[in-house]
């Protein structure tokens, strides 16, 4: 990425300057990514929705991961309707399904031991959450109800997986881990600002609290292995 900025419709503007990502113009039309090396701070802000990525070197894989997730981030930011417990259940299941699918791709495609171990954990932990959520909604006689947010999670998850599967080797590993960091930050924000405040059933809220702790642990895991994954050489090189 050079010092000169590149702007395109529904795309990204990149330049080596102050490090922040903000909407530029109408949402979904222009965004601006600015980089300060060697330490990078990124902010995505739409309405009251904000992410901060501090202290990690900016990489093309991180830019790609954030770019792929921008549609879902925007939907979460602009989703103002109150959620009922049935919709919360559907969102929780969708988020877990998205990460299980990505984890299965990583477990199959990656030859990096750190990435494979992380992916295996994602598959196991998120599958367990789905089991718990399914048991709870069955007990409560609640049928999960789709919402704009759950549909967006599924749709964007499928698109992201398709793009991720086109990568191989180290580019795949780096993008997968970067995407997991962004995704888990997004899920934490949705949990804190959308799901937990909206949940009315105490058992559902209790499950969400447990899920939040697991998501935070996953984020910590991904952030710890990211530098290792970035530095590791591919086998045979």
* CATH number, domain with residue 164: 1.20.1260.10
How do residues 142-191 score in pLDDT, each as one tens digit?
999 999 999 998 998 898 899 899 999 999 999 999 999 999 999 999 99
- In terms of domains, do 91 and 194 share one? yes
- In terms of domains, do 97 and 53 share one? no
For residue 10, give its domain range: 1-58
Using the predicted structure, report yes or no on whether residue 100 has a pLDDT greater than 50: yes
- In terms of domains, do 81 and 178 share one? yes
- In terms of domains, do 48 and 88 share one? no
Mean pLDDT of 18-28: 35
Q: What is the mean pLDDT of the chain?
A: 75
Using the predicted structure, report yes or no on whether residue 82 has a pLDDT greater than 70: yes
Using only C-alpha atoms, what is the Rg of the chain?
Answer: 18
**236 domain residue, yes or no:** no
Can you tell me which residue has the tokens 């501090």?
A: 54
C-alpha torsion sign, points 126, 131, 132, 137: positive
- In terms of domains, do 42 and 6 share one? yes
**92 domain residue, yes or no:** yes
Lowest pLDDT segment from 79-83, 104-108, 203-207: 79-83
Q: How many domains does the chain have?
A: 2
Please give the structure tokens belonging to residue 103.
Answer: 């984890």
Mean pLDDT of 34-45: 35
- In terms of domains, do 121 and 226 share one? yes
Can you tell me which residue has the tokens 């909407």?
A: 23
**18 domain residue, yes or no:** yes
- In terms of domains, do 19 and 116 share one? no
Mean pLDDT of 23-30: 34
Using the predicted structure, report yes or no on whether residue 45 has a pLDDT greater than 60: no
- In terms of domains, do 86 and 37 share one? no
Using the predicted structure, report yes or no on whether residue 49 has a pLDDT greater than 80: no
pLDDT > 90: what percent of the chain?
57
Tell me the whole-structure pTM to 2 decimals.
0.68
**141 domain residue, yes or no:** yes
């Amino acid at each position: 990425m050079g010092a000169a900025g590149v702007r395109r419709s529904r795309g990204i503007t990149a330049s080596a300057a102050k490090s922040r990502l903000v909407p530029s113009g109408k949402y979904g039309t222009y965004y601006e990514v600015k980089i300060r090396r060697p330490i990078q701070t990124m902010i995505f802000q739409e309405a009251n929705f904000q992410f901060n990525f501090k202290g990690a070197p900016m990489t093309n894989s991180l830019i790609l991961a954030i770019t792929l997730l921008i549609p879902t981030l925007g939907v979460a930011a602009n989703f103002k309707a109150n959620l009922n417990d049935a919709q919360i259940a559907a969102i929780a299941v969708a988020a877990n399904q998205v990460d299980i699918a990505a984890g299965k791709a990583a477990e199959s495609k990656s030859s990096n031991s750190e990435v494979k171990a992380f992916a295996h954990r994602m598959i196991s932990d998120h599958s367990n959450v789905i089991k718990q959520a399914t048991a709870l909604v069955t007990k409560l006689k609640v049928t999960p109800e789709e919402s704009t947010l759950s549909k967006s999670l599924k749709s964007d998850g499928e698109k992201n997986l398709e793009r991720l599967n086109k990568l191989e080797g180290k580019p795949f590993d780096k993008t997968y881990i970067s995407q997991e960091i962004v995704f888990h930050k997004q899920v934490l924000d949705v949990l804190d600002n959308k799901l937990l405040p909206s949940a009315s059933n105490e058992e559902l809220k209790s499950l969400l609290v447990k899920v939040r702790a697991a998501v935070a642990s996953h984020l910590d895991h991904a952030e710890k292995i990211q530098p290792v994954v970035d530095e590791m050489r591919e086998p045979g090189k």
